[in-house]
Every structure is written in C-alpha cells, then in structure tokens.
Structure 1
Amino acid sequence: MRATRRSEILRQRLSPQRIELIELAGRLAAGRGAACCLVGGCVRDLLLGRPVRELDLVVEGDATALGGELAARLGGTARSPTRFGTAKLELPQRETIDLASARREIYPSPAALPVVEPAGIDEDLLRRDFTINALAIHVEPACFGKLRDPCGGVRDLHLGLIRVLHDRSFIDDPTRALRAVRFAHRLGFRLEQGTSRWMSEASRQGVLDLLSGSRLRRELSLLLLEMPLRRTAELLAGSGLLSAIFPDAAASEEALARLGRLDALLDRTRPLAEGGEPRRLALFVSMLLAENRATDVQRLADRLDLRGGDRELAIGAVAEARGLALRLAPLLDSASGIYFALERSSAEEALAAAALSPEVEGAVVAHLNRLSRVRPALGGDDLIRMGIPPGPAHGRILREILAARLDGIVKTPEEEAGMARRLAGDLEG
C-alpha cells in the first residue's frame, strides 16, 4: 500500500480535527529535524478499519517539549506522567493524545521495568509487544502516510495472528502473556504457534510470579473489562496462565457455570452501570474460588494486592451471598420482602448470591433494575405539614409506605397520604 493511499485512508478514517492535529505535530517535529509517527494500536486499528480510540505519537527527540508546543498551539494542556519521556496532551473537544520519545528498552532481569535510552523510530518499534503493534505511519509533511513495518505486522494483520517479536518477550515482560490473550479476543485473532509455545514455556518457568501484585492486577482488570468472566477463565486455563496466576483455582464445570451465570446477570442489570462499573476482578476471584477454603482466597487477594472494598468483596462475597440467598428464598413472591432483604447489600453481593443460587436470580434482577429505585412520594416534611410531629414514627410510617409502594398497594401521593394518616392514628392509639 503506497504512502498516498495510506494518506487517503488517514483522511477518510480520522476526523478533520484529528488530521489537523497530526499534521501540526508533523510540521513542528520536522521543524526540529525529527521524525514523528502515529504508532501502535491506532495504526493497527486504522489498517483494520476499526474505530481509533486514542492517537499515539512517537517523535525522535524530546516528546515533552513537542507536547508543550502542541498544547500551546491548540489550547490544551500537557503533562509528563512517567519517567519514560512521555507527554499526555489533553486538548479541546475531549481529545487525548499520548506523545512519547522514541526509545530502546533494555531489561536488566526478567519482569523488571526496562532501562530506556533515546533511539530512532525503528528501534522504538522493535521494543513493542506484538508485530501488529510494531507499526508506524509518518506524519511529517515530506512523507505523510509512509508506513514503517520492520517486523511484518501488516502480514500478521492479514493472517489474523498475535506474534511476539522474539523468544524472550514473555520473560522480559510477563504481562505480555495477558495482553496476548486480550488482543486475541478483541480482534478475533489466534496466537502464532511459536508465540503460544514461548508463552507456555515462560509460564512454566514461573516468570509471572516475578510480577508485582499491582502490575498483575492491572492486566487482569483490563482483560476482564473486555471479556466475559467465563470466557476469561476458559482462555486463561487453555493457555496455562490460570494455574500460574491462580494456583489454587481450577476452571471446573461448576466454576465456569457460576461465572457464566454472573455474565448473564451483568448483561441483565445494565442500569447498575449508572452507579459505576461493578468490581469485576473481585467478583471473578470470589466466584472462581467459591468452593475453595477462605485461606486460598486470602492468599490470592494478597498476591493481587487487593485492598479496601475489593479485598473485602473477594474474600467475603461467597459467605455473604449464601446468607443473602437463604434470606431471599422465602420472600420471592414479595417485592417489599426482596427490597428489605437486599437493601443493605452491595450490588456485587446481590449478583454473587444469584450466581451461587439461581433460584433467587429473578429477585436480584428485579431489585437491581427496578425495586432499588422505588421511593415514596411523601417525605418527612410532608408528614409534618399533615400534622404528624417529627420523631421515630416518621421512619416507621415512611418504611410502611415504601413497602406498600413496592407491593402495589398504594400508587399515588394521595393514597400515600391516606395511608400515612391511618398509620399515624394507629401509632397514637
């Protein structure tokens, strides 16, 4: 594919604002005598015809200086958040760009963070995880649209392969094993034969054990954001990574069934997202190890450096969920009974209860999607205006009205007011 054709593709698939941005970056870099390229995932997705989420640029030389100049020209801000010579540009219209200095990386030991040195564009591409991400397109005026592909990434895009660049790739950075699974799922690709073999060898050598809990947790969280929980367990088990990361776990039929039910529940309770995404990693750990001893779950929580609410959920969800299921079982025909049984439980605990006990699934879905949002029309001020003095009676009256609302006994503010007066009279009597 010629540079002119790739230039046309850029203009077809990127917005005019993005084209203006990368052209300006190319002109400013050329003025400094430096090469500047779109790189990595955005090039991969452009060539595949997929949506481009964010633009990633690499420049030979000082990325922070170029980032500052770009931000000044475009009315944005530039931050330099890492020690690797990068700048993150936040521009108008919610556009975010990562700009990095071209570099080579040297890994002093397995799983260690690399030592970096300035380098050219091709060397920068040679440090990347997979051939399909080792692609660059020039944005300088003299060579706008020119492709750099030193590792055969375009070939692997056509073949649908995830291929690492060398046989020590997973030893240098074991997180690439989880990224390989993630990209294979996202793109519908498969692992190249040598890549699959090197991943298994690295896993058997225990290199994943060398990762810090935070790095491992981050990659697992990213994986679970893109994949159903059951499919994640299946792919990790099939690649040998599950036993390396979760030595006390097994992808048994029972565990996979629990995770599959949880996937279905998450799909059916999309309104939950209004309050933030559920804590998928903690749920994954708790459901995968639901039949294990508590000490096994605690050991894994320690390994992943889970903290705060995530740690509590991972370790305590199963016991809490089983208790919830027992409390719910006799109340399945009562909307108010379901509401009050679940009102003090987190959404994740309720979901875990349904995943463990399918008979309460309908109650949990009804609570998360509908019942938890029901509120009386009347409030404390309304009761005062009705002549009901403040005090403990208010709470009891409003709770009774809420139960009646949930069960469909009262439907209008007028019916609520009538019920409030009757309840107040009963309490006085």
Structure 2
Amino acid sequence: MPDYMFLLDSRLAPEQRAVLAQVQASAHAHGINLYLAGGAVRDLITGMPIRDLDFIVEGNPLRIAHDMEKHGARILEADEDTRHVEMLFAGQVDGSISGARDEIYDYPGTEPHIRWSTAVDEMKRRDFSINAIAISLNPASRGLLLDPTNGLADIEQNREVRVLSIHSFTNRPVRLLRAIRYSVRLGFKLEARTAEWFALALQRGLLEKIPPEHVGREVRQVTREENPIAVLQAWEKHGLISAIHPQLARRHPDYKGLAALEKARDLMMSAGMRIPSTESFAPYVRYILGRLKSSDQTRTVNRLGFRKEEVEALRRLDAEADKIVKILKGPARKLLPTGKGAPKGKVAEARATYDYLESVPRGLLAYILAEYTQPAAISKIRTYLAKWKPLRFSLPAGELEAMGMPRGPQFDKVLEELFNLQLVGRGRNLQDRAKLLRKLAGIKPEAKRKEEKKEEKKGKGKTATPVSGAAPAKTASGKAAPPAAPASPEVAAGKKAVPQATAKAAASQKVDSEKAQAGRQKPASAKGGGAPPRSKQKARKR
C-alpha cells in the first residue's frame, strides 16, 4: 500500500503544506477527527496537480474555519444547514471544510433530512466513487485510506466515472453537469449503468430542475479547470449548456476569447505565476457569456447566484483593464515618484514598471493579454512575464555568498541593485553578472587579490643577493671562509701587475720592450689580456 502521507508531502505546494499543518493543529486542539477527502485525494492518486484541499470533520467545521481566519484565511461561503464552509486559505490556497453527514430522502428528488455522522457515512452519500475516498489525518490512524465504495479501483483500473445510487441524478440533477466535467478532466468514460441513468435523467427533463445556484457553482468550477473549453464543448455535445442560459445552445460561448485567455494563463504559469481562482473567475465568465446580449448576461449573472464580490469583479472588469492599459501605454517616467531626490533614468523607469505590474491582479493581466491589442502595453506585460519574472526568481544569492559576502541587509541591497540593472539588460550572462556583483559589493576580483598578496609577500621578503648567486664557501671546520684580501691599486684600476720572471723571461721582456718603444706600442698586458697573475691564481685556489 502506498504511503499516502509521504505522497502528500511530496506533491503539495509549500503553501498547501502549511495549510495542512495548520488545519491538523486546530483539529487536534479541538479534539475533532479530521480527514482529507474528495478532489485532493483523487488528484493525489491520479498524479494530477492538487488544486483544492477539502477537509471532512466529525464535528463542527466552523470552529476550525475561525481558527484558520487567524492565519490569514478567508471564509468565502458558509452554509450552516449543511455545515459546509468554502475557504480561501492563506497563500491563495482553495479549499473547504465540511461536517461529516448522512442524507435521508423521503422520496427521490426531495430535500433530504441531514444527520451528522461519521466520515465513512459521508463517503457513502457522495456523488461518485472517485470522490468518495478520504485519508485520515488523525494521530492514531494517520495516512489510513477510507474507500468504502471502491473508488480506488475506478481510478486506477476501470478509469470510469460511477455514481453511487440509482437515484443519484434524481436527488441532485446538478450531477449531470458534474459527471461530464469529471469525465473530461480525467479522461474517463461513464460507467455503463451510470451512462444509462444519465440518459434516462435527461429524458425525464431533470436538466431543467437543477437549481440555478447549483449551476452557478459548476460554472465557477469550470473557470478553474485546466481545459475549460473542452468541458463547455462536452456540455454542448450532451445538451447541457442550456442550463447556464437557453440561448447558449445556439449562440455558444466565446471559444476564441477563451482560447486567448488560456494562452495568457499558460504564459503566466511558465513565468511561475498561478492565477488565483478568485481572480480568474471574472475573465472566464465574461467569455462564457460573451456572445449573449448584454441584458441577458446581467440577468444570468444575477440568476446563477454568484457571490457578491464575483458579481462586482465582473462589473468592473473592463473599466479596470482600460485603466491599466492606459497607464502602460504611456511613458514609464510617469510611474516614477516625483519630488526632490526622486530616482530618474532608464533603470529607475524599468524598476517602476516592474513594481507596477507586480501590483496588478494576475487575472486582469491575463484578460488584457487575451482581449487587448495595444502594442506598448502588451509589450511591457510580455517583457515582464518572459524576461523580468524569470530574473527575479533566479537572483544569484549563492554566487554572492560564495564571493565571501555575509547575508544581511547589505547582501539583500546588492541583489536588488543587480536586479535593477538586469531589468535594462546588464549582467544577464555569467561573466558580466559576476563582475557586477563584485563591483556592487565592493569585492576585488580574485586574480587582483592574489596579485596584491604576491606583491605584498615579495616586498616583505626582499634580501641582498650575491651577484654570482653562489653560497659563501666554508672551511673544513664548517665556518664561513674569511673574505678575500682587497685587490691592489693596480688591479682595481684595471692594470695588470708585472710578475717576477726568470732570467730568460727578463731577457725576453727586454727585447719586447725595445720593440714596443720602436713601434710605440703598448704591451698586450695593458689591455687586460694574458693569463692572470700567479698570485691571483693561488688566491682563487684558496
């Protein structure tokens, strides 16, 4: 059996892991049994990205929800009758906390009586087997898989969407929309009996009986799908799109606009920017309803029971986008602060543009890329996504640390200054970046530092060196020999002393002297030639 807690830890994003830890701590403090269920477990098993964290508690979920508010979470919707709380946890993590319950129907299709129950009963009452799986987060059974309807086999082996009751579509007609949405998302087929009951439900006209607010929740889910176009087209194929508005079956959603929006979303994802579900809602709904008349759009939005903030975001979408485009198409210097000492120049303008785009909601950036064609504004957004964001995510902190600079405020300041220069194209390759880092940090290049150390060492170790380079001679006793006697004045002047000679040599010298006088020539010894004097030879031998 797989270690599901290990899988969770390795598959969750850091923000999701933090939320998981916070919810577990709160449940433990209140003595409430806690389970991770539904989509998170299904996505964990299928290997898909885990988008939502849906928790089941055997108790009151509001106690944990209020604890999460202290950690920065926001309650989006709370239904006290069903004890279901839609949450936006800290770090823009989507999810929910629900109380485990059982539902008892007097007749198929009527409103159920709710009874608070266990996690196993909660799994059995759910819509499809693939959503009826939970993982225990309780200390005594942590990591235990609850699968009372054999949903694991439907995911891993059968690869099919299976309802849990013959009355499933009758009790909740919105499951018609959900069945197709899951089928498209997972690439599964409808299980044989499920397909029969699906067709029977459509023949009985159950599509028209879906409560509008349930349709609105499904539309909200479509805006969060990886491939919303495929889901909408599948709804059209099965005759379900009219649940949103009867005219959509003839007019169709704006698929061209949706495709452009998906392209923009993918560009942002490649830059490491996920669009929060609260920000993606308005642009997607705008294109889903975009081919309807303006009055029909307004009525549909009101009828589907969207949240107040969602309706407001839809209403302000175009006005907000126009405002942003107007600012971006103007000169960047207008984004700079004014007054004495305010920064100026291309580097300051680039940083001001970056900071402004950082402040714009991501959903609006995606909508502008999909809807607008203004060259200057689009160019700045694309530069921000394709060049600037990757640079921001790859600041060379490790390189700076390796150069010997300790972490601290000055360390961060150097990285910020480098990033500002990179915005205008400087220091983007390895060599230039290293030079800039050293300059900004005041660190001398390694070669120069070695050269200075070498020069310093050479200056400290200078000594007088003999011209000949030979070591002084030593006597037999091991002591240095005494210095040689100074040369005679004649030798010092460059003259040779005349040695004593034999009688024969004296006679020869006399003849030579006479010849020299006759030819007015100097003897060869005056030029320094000939053999050295015998006394000097003896001195060298010593």
Q: How many residues align?
A: 322
Match of residue 151 from structure 1: 149
Q: Does 1:82 align with 2:76?
A: no
1:283 shift after superposition: 3.6
The equivalences for 1:4-403 within 5 A come to: 5-14=3-12, 15=14, 17-18=18-19, 20-21=21-22, 23-24=24-25, 27-28=28-29, 32=31, 35-65=33-63, 71=68, 81-83=78-80, 84-86=82-84, 98-107=96-105, 114-158=112-156, 159-226=158-225, 231-242=230-241, 247-248=246-247, 250=249, 259-267=254-262, 277=280, 278-287=282-291, 304=304, 346=318, 373-375=328-330
After superposition, the Cα gap between the structure-2 partners of 1:6 and 1:298, relative to the gap in structure 1 and judged at 3 Å, is closer
Change (3 A) 1:305 1:370: closer
Asked if structure 1 preserves the Cα contact closer than 8 Å seen for 2:56 and 2:100, the reply is yes
Q: Given that residues 108 and 167 in structure 2 are in contact (C-alpha distance below 8 angstroms), is that contact kept between their aligned partners in structure 1?
A: no
List alignment gaps of at least 5 residues for structure 2: 269-274, 335-373, 377-542
Distance 1:243 1:204, change over 3 A: farther
Shift of 1:300: 6.9
> Residue 150 of structure 1: CA displacement?
0.7
Measure how far apart 1:215 and its partner are. Answer: 2.7
CA distance in 2 between partners of 1:95 and 1:298 (Å): 29
Q: Does structure 1 retain, via aligned residues, the 8 Å contact 2:215–2:243?
A: no
- CA distance in 2: counterparts of 1:241 and 1:28, whole angstroms: 45
**Shift of the alpha carbon at 1:155?**
0.7
Matched-pair contact (CA < 8 Å) for 1:213–1:303: yes
More displaced stretch, 143-152 vs 267-276: 267-276
Measured against aligned partners, the alpha-carbon deviations of 1:161-196 in whole angstroms (never above 9, x if no partner) come to: 221111211111122222222222222222222222
Distance (whole Å) between structure 1 residues aligned to residue 74 and residue 131 of structure 2: 25
Q: Separation in 2 of the partners of 1:301 and 1:378?
A: 40
For 1:238 and 1:92, the matched residues in 2 are separated by: 38
8 Å CA contact 1:60–1:101 kept in 2: the answer is: yes
Superposed displacement of residue 85, structure 1: 2.5
Contact in 2 for aligned 1:229/1:260 (Cα 8 Å): no
Distance 1:377 1:65 in 2: 49
Q: 1:161 to 1:347 in 2, by over 3 A?
A: farther
Q: Counterparts of 2:103 and 2:132 in 1: how far apart (Å)?
A: 14
Q: Structure 1 residues 231 and 347 mapped into 2: Cα distance closer, same or farther (>3 Å)?
A: farther
Deviating more after overlay: 134-143 vs 74-83: 74-83
Aligned-partner Cα distance in 2 for 1:17–1:279: 29
CA pair 282-307 structure 1, distance change in 2 beyond 3 A: farther
- CA 1:347–1:161: 2 relative to 1, 3 Å: farther
- C-alpha change, 1:106 and 1:49, in structure 2 (3 Å) is same
Residue pair 1:224, 1:232 contacting (<8 A) in 2 also: no
Per-residue deviation at 1:22?
5.5
Distance 2:375 2:57 in 1: 64
Q: Deviations over 1:193-241 (max 9, x none)?
A: 2222222221222223223333323323432442666534431132232
Match of 1:412 in 2: none
The 1-side partners of 2:9 and 2:332 are apart by 54
* 8 Å contact kept, 2:136–2:144: yes
Query: Could you tell me whether the CA contact under 8 Å between 1:110 and 1:210 is conserved in 2?
Result: no
Flag the structure with more relative contact order, 1 or 2, with Cα contacts below 8 A and sequence separation at least 6: 1
Cα distance, 1:94–1:250 mapped onto 2, change above 3 Å: closer
Could you say if the C-alpha distance between residues 195 and 224 of structure 1 is closer, same or farther in structure 2, counting changes exceeding 3 Å?
Answer: farther
Q: TM-score, normalised by structure 1?
A: 0.58
The one-letter code sitting in structure 1 at the alignment partner of 2:216 is R
Q: Which amino acid aligns with 1:82?
A: D
Please tell me whether the aligned partners of residues 73 and 90 of structure 2 are also in contact (alpha carbons under 8 angstroms).
no
Counterpart secondary structure, 1:61: coil
Q: 1:302 to 1:108 in 2, by over 3 A?
A: farther
Structure 1 residues 35 and 175: CA distance shift in structure 2, 3 A: same
TM value normalised by structure 2: 0.48
AA at the equivalent of 1:42: A
Q: What is the aligned-residue identity percentage?
A: 28
Helix, strand or coil: the match of 2:122? Answer: helix
Q: Look at both structures and tell me which one has the larger radius of gyration over its CA atoms.
A: 2
3-state DSSP class of the match of 1:143? coil
| Secondary structure, counterpart of 1:226 in structure 2 | coil
CA deviations on 1:340-365 (whole Å, 9 max, x unpaired) are xxxxx9599x9xxxxxxxxxxxxxxx
- Report how far residue 102 of structure 1 moved: 1.2
Q: Distance in 1 between matches of 2:159 and 2:55?
A: 25
Task: Tell me the C-alpha RMSD between the 2 structures.
Answer: 4.9
Offset of residue 81 of structure 1: 2.2
Shift of 1:43: 1.4
Match of 1:356 in 2: none
How far did residue 268 of structure 1 move?
5.9
Q: What residue number does 1:394 align with? A: none
